[in-house]
Structure formats: C-alpha cells, structure tokens
Amino acid sequence: MLLELEDVQKGYAIRRWGREVSRVEALRGLDLSVPEGAMFGFLGPNGAGKTTAISCIVGILRADAGAIWLDGEPLDATSGRAEIGYLPEQVGLHGHLTAEETLQFYGAFHGLARDDIDARGGELLGQLGLAGETTRAVRGFSLGMRKRLALAVALLHRPRLLVLDEPTSGLDPRGVAALRKLLRQFNSEGLTILLSSHVLAEVQQLCSEAAIIHRGRLVRQAPVEELRSAVADAGQLVTLKLGDFAPEMLATVEALDGVTEAQASPDGRHTRLEVQLAGLTTAALTSALVDAGALVFSVAPHEPTLEEVFLASTEEEG
C-alpha cells in the first residue's frame, strides 16, 4: 500500500469566551489503505470527515492520535510530504503572477532549480493545454484554467501521490470532461490519485477502488465493481415490458420464491412490471411469466450505481 491511515483521530474544540465548552470529533479512528497506482475514490456525506482526513494527509492539520504511513514510512510534518501533491477545492493562486511565475514561486518551496522548474513546468503546461498562456496574469484565467494551473503546481515536484478535494467543483461540463481525461492520463503513467468527491458518478467513472466514510470512521472499502455487486447481491430490480398481462398475473409473480416486491403499471398498450428479486434469477422470472400467458417484449435488469452503495452504507451506520 502506498498510503495507509491507522486509527486516525482528530477533534476540534468549540470555545466560548476563551474556554472550551464542547468538542467535535471529526475523525474517530479512521482506517484507510490506498494501493500504489490506484485511482482511489474517497466518499462520504457532508460532515463525514473527508476534508479533515485530507488535511491530515497533506500536512495542513496534525492528527490527535493514530498513524499515517506513506510507502511504509511514518508521514509527519518533516518527511514524506514531498511525495504528495495537493489540489484543494478552492484554488488559491496569486492573481498578479503569470503562469510561468506561479510555477517558479511554488517550485522554489520544493527546492527545485530554476532550470528544472522551466523544463517540468513547460511539460505540464503543454499537457494541460496552457502552453500559450505562460506570460498571462492568472487573474485573467477562467476557473477551468486556474484549476489546470493549480494541477500543474501540484505535479511540479513529481509526487507519487496526488490528493484531489472536489476537483470538478465549479467547472462546466466541458471542463469536467477535460479534467477527467487528464486524470486518467496521469494515472496511466503510474501516478496514484486519491479523489475526494461528492459526485458519485464521477468516482464511479474514474476510480477502480473506493472507500466510504461516515461520522469519522471507515464504513466500507473495496473495488468499485465489488461495492456495486454487494448491492446487487442484496436484491436486483428488473423491469419488464409485457403484453397480454392479466391482473391476476401480478399475484402469481408475488407468490414466486425469491420475489420480494412487484408493481405493475400501464405503459401505452403494454404493461410495465417492476420486480425486486432476492434469489430468483431473471431467466426464471421470465419463464414464469411466459408460462402464465404473458408476452415478454423486453427485460431490463437494473445495474446498481455507486450512489446506491453510498446510501446503503451510510444508512447502515445510522
């Protein structure tokens, strides 16, 4: 594992008139394992502790307890941070600087030589579609351009881990598509990416593995397809378009072993039948309907989404 969090805890004191009156526990023993080379999704409802966890990983905050490891070594304020690149949700760049000056400014923090910054910066700006904007002041950049420049800053020192907090926030559809393409490209080159997002479809499209946290704890972590399969195993929704469907056929379907719920509704000259299965196969359901005299025009099994996994997981945790 490239990144590991073990029993990480972090709380915030609520003060009034200089005295602590209560405390909010944002992380309550969070465990997390991010494989090297993965595009890893980090999910949780608002207030789950995602931003606090990211802040502890990148060094903005120090955990109260627990351990964070990068490639088997303890990650603290003085070691390992150079292996991490960070793109926050709110991009804070100096508007009076040009793109070229911005890279020089941040490259100096990493101890990079000017020639190295020029070479690496030029490469990144080319990849990110900003090659023709090097001498333009950042204040004139669109949000999408500022995000891409901030991504160049995050990658300037060649990190092994890139941490992204809501990277597509505020972008238009074209900007979202462009950023997704870039992330896939960098990941294919071996960069490990930790992607925190509330856009579940985004994680489902980009990530091979994901973790769901709730109330500061890990709820579930697995490959995305495995997470979706877990919901499917709990029951599959099948929608059928039928002809010659008599009302008494609904009772026949409901009586089948492995059917937990069935609903029929008009669909033009046909009938739309939605059936929740728990153990019965789609083929067996279709066969039973044909035997009962129905004409089956189409069968559409519902593929569970990551959103359903997310909702099911957080509901289980209360």
Same domain for 299 and 173: no
Same domain for 252 and 161: no
Q: According to the model, what pLDDT value does residue 229 have?
A: 66
Q: Where is the domain boundary, 230, 265, 297? A: 230
Tally of domains within the chain: 2
Same domain for 275 and 210: no
Q: Where is the domain boundary, 230, 259, 286? A: 230
Is the CB of residue 161 less than 8 Å from the CB of residue 70? yes
Same domain for 180 and 79: yes
Same domain for 252 and 206: no
Half-sphere exposure of residue 238: CA atoms within 13 angstroms, side-chain side: 25
Q: Where is the domain boundary, 230, 251, 270? A: 230
Same domain for 266 and 199: no
Same domain for 290 and 198: no
Q: According to the model, what pLDDT value does residue 247 have?
A: 86
Is the CB of residue 131 less than 8 Å from the CB of residue 159? no
pLDDT single digits (tens) 284-314: 899 999 999 999 999 887 765 666 666 666 6
Residue 279 sits in which domain range? 234-316
Same domain for 68 and 202: yes
Question: Tens digit of pLDDT per residue, the chain (318 long)?
Answer: 999 999 999 999 888 888 878 888 999 999 999 999 999 999 888 788 999 999 999 999 999 999 999 999 888 755 677 899 999 988 889 999 999 999 999 999 888 999 999 999 999 999 888 998 889 999 999 988 999 999 999 999 999 999 999 888 888 888 888 888 999 999 999 999 999 987 777 888 899 999 989 889 998 898 988 876 665 555 677 899 999 888 889 999 999 998 888 999 998 889 999 998 877 888 889 999 999 999 999 988 776 566 666 666 666 655
Same domain for 242 and 197: no
Full-model pTM: 0.75
Q: According to the model, what pLDDT value does residue 172 have?
A: 81
Same domain for 201 and 140: yes
Same domain for 143 and 43: yes
Same domain for 136 and 97: yes
Q: According to the model, what pLDDT value does residue 199 have?
A: 74
CATH number, domain at 308? 3.30.70.1340
